[in-house]
Chains A and B, each alone.
Chain A
Amino acid sequence: MSFHYEVRLSGEGGQGLVLAGKILAEAAAIYDGINATQSQSYGPEARGGASRSEVILSDDDIDFPKATRLDLLLALTQESCDKYVRDLKAGGLLLLDEDAVHAVPDGEFNVWRVPVIRLAKEKLGKAIVANIVSLGVITRAAGIVSEEAVRNAILARVPKGTETINIDAYELGLGLAAERATAGS
């Protein structure tokens, strides 16, 4: 059965969301043979401090790189949550940083509240890897791209010398998603 899966990663500039989007797209396209496009905010809106990265995954051709009906929305700020939640389709997954997003919007979608920023800081000593923690959560939550593909794509994207901390962050995210899935089931 064919699929078309749209992901938007949103938050603030400096949270590494563009990198996370690129990793997800490359993991799908290079290692799993899934069609993928990725786009990002780098125009005036990005100068505003907000950051957005979109990935479309499909086994069919992708006609347009812009996500319009989201299957998964990651929001690392209240502002991005409020702004983009309307694009989330019914039954989609809203993935929130539980410390950054306090007002959780209502809607016909599933909500996962995960403390990605806090755990990145507490467990790995660096809030900056919250993007990779999020990527771990997304990988397991979406189940579209294989975990190994994402691991390889991370290694091909992060700066030399930071491979270990990034892989640890990714594993942390996978673990969080597993815990969340168990708790929800």
Chain B
Amino acid sequence: MIRYFRRVEQRAAELGNHRRKYLHGIEREGRRLIDRLEASGRFDRVHLRRRAVDLADEMSCVSQSGRDEKERLALLGCFYALHFLILNIRSIDTLRLSITDATDRIAVYERFLRRTGDEYSRLVREYVRHLLRIFLSGRPKPEFVICAVGTRIHQDDVDLGIIDDGTEARVELNRAIGRMATEMIRWASAPDFYLSEHVGAEGYTVSIDEYCSRLDERVLDFVSVTEILAATPLVGSRALFEKFSRKIHDRYYAPRHGSNKEHEAYLRGLLGEINALLWWPQNPHIINPKHDLLRPVTALLWGFRTIYDVRHVGTWKTFRELSRLMRRHRAALSRLEESYTFVETFRHLYQQFAAQEEEIEVTAPGEQASLQQVAEAMGYQDAGAIRAWQHLLVHYHERVEAGRECFDELVPEISTHVQRTTVFGPIVRERLRPRQSGPRINVAQGILERRRYFQGIKYWKDLIEVIEQPGSPLLAALVEDIRSLDEEPRREVVQGFAEWGSETFLTALRLMIAIGERRRELECEPLFKELNDAFLETLTGSPDEIRRIATVFVHNPAIVHRYLTHIDEDGRRRFHAVLAGRVFGGELTAWRDRLLALSSVHLTGSRYLMRTLERVCREKPEYLIDMAELDHLGQMARGLQAGAMRSLGTPRQMEALGEYYDVEFLRTSLSALRGDRFEEVNEHFSNVCDHYLELLFDSCKALIDRERNHRILTHDRLGVFASGGHGRRRAFQDDWDLVVVLASDSDELFEYSNRIVARMNREITKRGLMVQYHFADRFGALVTKISEIEPFLLDTPSEAFVEMAQILGARMVVGSGRVESLVFERIIERCIFAQAKTFIDMAIDEIRSRHAYREARGGWRNDSDVKECRGGLRDLEMIMLMWKVHDRLRDPIGDSFWSVLMERHPEHEPVFRDFRRANAFLNRFRDIYRLTVAPVNRLRREDFDRPASIMIKNPDAAESPAEQLQASFLWHRERVATHIDGMLDLLADGVR
């Protein structure tokens, strides 16, 4: 670098690597620039080391100093490069100076952005003007205007739109623009011709007539429209621009009365853009100012500009004008403006100091140094251990968050406007209030006909909300009108809706749900299936599609769940297959996997499991997102549990308790389906159930106390015992066996206890669980006094076998050690152990008569009842109970009970070991069957595929997984059956 420019080079060193491009140009042409200016006597008219005084004149001097075209281009490029660097260095210097004592930093940022944007715009304008002067010199040219169509402050590229008169001379202009583009890539920011590429045909320029015919043909994407509306003349004919403005701009502003499809399509496009950006997957390691806030704000402002007819003013003036026009939203607009200014400043400075890229990987090497530069320029300083860049990032996220919150208030202004003025309004209204005469409009065809103009638009919330209303006449009319069509037009309509759906998944899913929910009432089951099949047919499983569906899921999990609930199994399988495609990006993959977790449950889950899923969806739909991350779901459950421990005895506490149970049920079910250790799953869930009952008891007690306005002390005399499956610590029960025992004869305590249990019962049944209260039938109350149980068991043992078995297998869930001891001593020991022989004989009778009965009904091999069959779970339970009575054991029966028996009776260890294995297998099979097929004990062979896919780990064996599962089922039962007669004989003989 020659000495003359060394200071610029030194000062530019703090800028990002993009400075290299400009320094390269200065190094290559700087010497020649000075020489030529001196040679032509213009050196003192041109500023090369500081801001130009008269940019236009100085650029002319530079251009004229070149000896030929090539040299003139090089000198201009070098001059541009110098002034680009000077402009940015000086702007940042000014910012640093202004920020040091600023009380209102946002105002300083705004001034900085506006001034820098204006100066940059002037520099680009003069450069473009001088380039065109060279390229068009002496050539025929059309009337034309080159417009800047992007944001003034953005320097990473220059968005240009070029309008011409369409005459033949445009060939020369296009050639000149092409050459200009290459020069700009060489020396300046690269130009971008989005409008030319999307509106024009094989050229950089587009005439007004070409615009008109293109816009009449079909909707223009909102990015193009925004560029059209943002167009500001840089170089060329003002008159042409005015004409363009009149003929094209007006199309996109709100009409005084009625509808305007171009305006509506633009607003729908913007609303779709806002939703898409606000729903974009956030990566914790990457920030992207454009996605995070700038683009949604730009879209919002353009929407308001077209509604309120705010024309040709910049961003900050627009904010002020809107604050005047929308007084009730002034506060939100003000907050949004501040956030916008902050984030735009951040982005601009990042691009200056680090790289002209949108995504910032905060943890990448070098980024923190660049962010520190940004922070310091924005007025942040290190404070103790906190670095300025860390402070800045916290503020960045706060500003983005605050800005995004404003959208909740402001977006409805646009959506309501769309709803009020939509071109779909008349057809909907007319069909709902049919005219007395004349042809009737077919709603389905009418909507599709109007929709044709709106290709690619994703925002249809207003229309779908009318369809979703309870008993919506529009939906009824839509269904009726599709069905009324002949086959060919009906197929076309179905296809039309399916293709529409593939553009906007949220709308498609909501439409399918709306029809699905009323398909019986509207008698349109076949149409529902036809529509869904056609919709699924349009899906290709591309990464983009998966991203869009996953985005819908993360922001509307209940919608996807409800859709999957309504469609048939084949549809669910096809939907799942689409989601299983390849995707890119960690965050997106995580989103997709979460959606797959929900979809998998819909594919494999039984109604029994879906019932709980449905409740979770109703109560806490956001939890559906965490179905792939069971630990996270567990944290949520713990949070609910903690919440349920507060505000004792309030309706909210009851709700929180129920939600806690449901979320834990869901989590445990998913854990079982994932193949986690069966013993742990059972242990965990039975602890959850115990905890639920404990909290429920406390809560109901507090509630009854409050109702009675009086607290009663139970003196540790009330105990709630779980028996049956829950007593044996088995998860996934659809009923609970409870024995509620009162160790007192007080009438007041008895009435009080019954009220508590009745209240508990009401809450438990809301979870879809039926509660069986043993002794309740016999004694006529939910709570049973010990003094009632004792004579019953002692005096009529032959009638009390079932109750004895229940209380023997019971385990205390709520109550004190005192009541537990009382029950053991007064009931178990005194009434059952004391009659051990009687109990064991009754149990042996029960087993033998059951075996005989079932044998007579079809034989052992055909008996598929996992509980009652010979060698089934009932046999194993009875054996445990008999041994418990025989050995007078206090240990609860369950998985661990077999170990107790093996230790006490080592001579029978091989048999107990077989029993233990069979008990574990049969219980697991029964649980998985419940979760994947149905909560029944009779396991149908034809339904073994789903449980086999989870339980069988050798899918490549000669036998199918279902066949392997069937074989295991028979084998374990056979092992039990082989031993059982010998075991019964042994027990009948009193063992010893």
Contact = CB atoms under 8 A, between A and B. Distances in A.
Interface of A: 11-12, 14-15, 19, 22, 25-26, 29-31, 35-40, 42-44, 47-50, 61-66, 77-79, 100, 128, 152-153, 155-163, 165
B190 A156 contact: no
A43 B221 contact: yes
Nearest to A48: B544
A161 B146 CA distance: 38
Given A38-B190, A49-B544, A158-B17, A44 B222 contact: yes
Interface in B209-224: 221-224
A27 to B, nearest CB: 10
B357 A19 contact: yes
Contact of A160 (B17, B276, B582, B585): B17
A154 B588 CA distance: 28
Given A11-B584, A37-B178, 16 more contacts: A26-B186, A29-B185, A35-B182, A38-B190, A43-B223, A44-B221, A47-B276, A48-B544, A61-B178, A63-B202, A63-B203, A63-B204, A66-B197, A159-B370, A162-B365, A165-B365
Interface of B: 16-21, 24-25, 174-175, 178-179, 181-182, 185-186, 190, 192-194, 196-198, 202-204, 221-224, 269, 273, 276-277, 353-357, 359, 361, 364-367, 369-370, 456, 542-544, 547-548, 582, 584-585, 588
B459 to A, nearest CB: 12
A42 B194 contact: yes
Contacts of A161: 364-367, 369-370
Contacts of A159: 16-17, 354-355, 357, 364, 366-367, 370
A164 to B, nearest CB: 9
Contact of A79 (B21, B194, B353, B544): B544
A162 B367 CA distance: 9
Contacts of A47: 273, 276-277
A47 B193 CA distance: 18
Contacts of A22: 190
A35 to B, nearest CB: 4
Given A62-B181, A156-B18, A161-B369, A30 B24 contact: yes
Contacts of B19: 156
Contacts of B197: 39, 65-66
Nearest to B197: A66
B354 A25 contact: no
> Which of B222, B223, B273 is packed against the most chain A CB atoms within 10 Å?
B223
Contact of B25 (A30, A36, A63): A30
Contacts of B186: 26, 29-30
Contacts of A42: 192, 194, 223
The 7 residue pairs across chains A and B that have the minimum distance between CB atoms: A161-B366, A159-B355, A156-B20, A43-B223, A29-B185, A79-B542, A35-B182
Contacts of A78: 542, 582
Nearest to A45: B221
Contact of B204 (A43, A44, A64, A79): A64
Contacts of A153: 21
Given A65-B193, A65-B196, A65-B197, A157 B182 contact: no
A87 B456 CA distance: 23
A161 B276 CA distance: 32
A157 B25 contact: no
A152 B21 CA distance: 9
Given A26-B21, A152-B24, A160 B366 contact: yes
20 contacts: A11-B584, A14-B359, A14-B584, A30-B25, A42-B194, A43-B198, A61-B178, A62-B178, A63-B178, A65-B181, A78-B542, A79-B543, A100-B582, A152-B24, A155-B17, A156-B19, A157-B17, A159-B357, A159-B367, A161-B370
Contacts of B190: 22, 25-26, 38
A133 B99 CA distance: 42
Per DSSP, chain A at the interface is mixed
A6 B20 CA distance: 26
Contacts of B582: 77-78, 100
B595 to A, nearest CB: 15
A29 to B, nearest CB: 4
A162 B20 CA distance: 15
Contacts of A77: 543, 582, 584
B17 A12 contact: no
A42 B290 CA distance: 12
Contacts of B547: 48-49
B553 to A, nearest CB: 15
Interface centre among A42, A128, A155, by most chain B C-beta atoms within 10 angstroms, is A42
Contacts of A66: 197
A61 B369 contact: no
Given A63-B174, A65-B204, A163-B17, A37 B222 contact: no
A61 B223 contact: no
A37 B182 contact: yes
A38 B185 CA distance: 9
A93 B573 CA distance: 38
Given A22-B190, A38-B185, A77-B543, A44 B355 contact: no
Contacts of B369: 160-161
A61 B584 contact: no
Nearest to B181: A37
Contacts of A30: 21, 24-25, 185-186
B20 A155 contact: yes
Nearest to A60: B178
Contacts of B273: 44, 47
A36 to B, nearest CB: 6
B950 to A, nearest CB: 29
A122 to B, nearest CB: 17
B185 A37 contact: yes
A156 B21 contact: yes
A160 B175 contact: no
Contacts of A25: 185, 190
Nearest to A159: B355
Contact of A64 (B21, B25, B178, B198): B178
Contact of B370 (A11, A14, A79, A160): A160
A67 to B, nearest CB: 10
Contacts of B222: 44
Nearest to B370: A160
A43 B194 contact: yes
A64 B543 contact: no
Contacts of A162: 364-366
Contacts of B364: 159, 161-162
Output the residue of A11, A29, A38, A47 with the most chain B CB within 10 A: A47
A49 B584 CA distance: 10
Contacts of A63: 174-175, 178, 202-204
Nearest to B269: A44
A43 to B, nearest CB: 4
Count chain A CB atoms within 10 A of each CB in B21, B192, B585 and give the residue with the most.
B21
Please indicate which of the listed interface residues B19, B185, B224, B588 has the most CB atoms of chain A within 10 Å of its own CB.
Answer: B185
Contacts of B17: 155-160, 163
B166 to A, nearest CB: 16
B295 to A, nearest CB: 9
A78 B175 CA distance: 36
B139 to A, nearest CB: 13
A161 B364 CA distance: 8
A48 B272 CA distance: 12
Which residue of B18, B19, B25, B355 has the most chain A CB atoms within 10 A of its CB atom?
Answer: B355
A37 B585 CA distance: 29
Nearest to B373: A160
Contacts of A19: 357
A159 B19 CA distance: 11
Contacts of A15: 584
Contacts of A158: 17, 355
Contacts of B16: 159-160
Given A48-B544, A64-B204, A65-B181, A156 B584 contact: no
A155 B269 CA distance: 38
